[in-house]
Amino acid sequence: MPRRRPGRPRRDDQRPTRELVLAAATALFAERGFDAVSVRDVAAAAGVDVATVAHHTGTKAQLYDACFARVFSAEREAVEAAGDRARAALAAGPADAVRALHDLVDVFVDFLEDRPETTALWLRRWLEPRRHTELDRRYAAPLYAQVEQLLVAASAAGALVEPAPHVTVRSLVWAVHGHVVALAAGAGSEARERREFRVFVHRLLDGLYPPAIP
């Protein structure tokens, strides 16, 4: 390992240092949590010095927040893009709306399956008593509202009263998180688990909110 001397190397030859640090920190925080990761760990994983981490991302808490903002923004963008497609289908009629709802949920499941660190960070964040209110407002609430709106629109003649849509959406999201955690634990065939979970989700939607057009 060539010891790098102080000064100013590493520029333009690869990704900016800040991105290196954020990627390394995200992986570590997702795996071990805030308190079990030291800034020195992050620095070592990124191949830089602790002071360089501080220079680019400030304090440890700010680094943590930056990781969250990065991951959750990606999630929200993916869901909102699918939401736009769903809203377009909504105008076409209830049958298309039902299909759009299922597509939206599929996008969400696909996203979290491909990026398990998102689930890990979500769960860790929910466990922080101070943070999760702000988290709910900035990321969860808009996402939930989108699925909820689609749920109501897709229900038969909009006559949806119970179960309350927000409860259904929340439970669905948590079921996905549980699915991702189970996948990470690696019990059984992964492909089969993925398939069966999708069956569950779609049956759940159809069972709770029967399509208007059978």
Residues 6+ apart with CB under 8 A from 34: 60, 64, 124
Among 77, 181, 190, 213, binds a copy of itself (CB under 8 A): 181
Q: Does the protein bind DNA through residue 49 (CB under 7 A)?
A: yes
Peptide bond into 163 cis (omega under 30): yes
Q: Which residues are 211's β-sheet partners?
A: 155
Q: How far apart are CA 69 and CA 125, in angstroms?
A: 12
Among 4, 15, 137, 195, binds DNA (CB under 7 A): 4
Among 38, 73, 133, 189, binds DNA (CB under 7 A): 38
CA distances for 71 relative to 19, 49, 137, 191, angstroms: 12, 24, 16, 25
Element (H, E) at 110: helix 94-114
Neighbours of 129 (CB within 10 A): 7
Q: Does the protein bind DNA through residue 149 (CB under 7 A)?
A: no
Q: Does the protein bind a copy of itself through residue 102 (CB under 8 A)?
A: no
Q: Does the protein bind DNA through residue 2 (CB under 7 A)?
A: no
Residue 4 binds: one of DNA, a copy of itself, none (C-beta under 5 to 8 A by kind) = DNA
Length of the chain: 214
Applying CB under 7 A, which part among 34-42, 84-92, 97-105, 143-151 lies near DNA?
A: 34-42
For the CB of residue 66, give the shortest distance to a copy of itself in the complex, in Å.
Answer: 20
Residues that bind a copy of itself (CB under 8 A): 31, 33-36, 120, 123-124, 126-127, 129, 132-133, 136, 162-164, 167-168, 170-175, 177-179, 181-182, 184-185, 187, 193, 196-197, 199-200, 203-204, 207-208
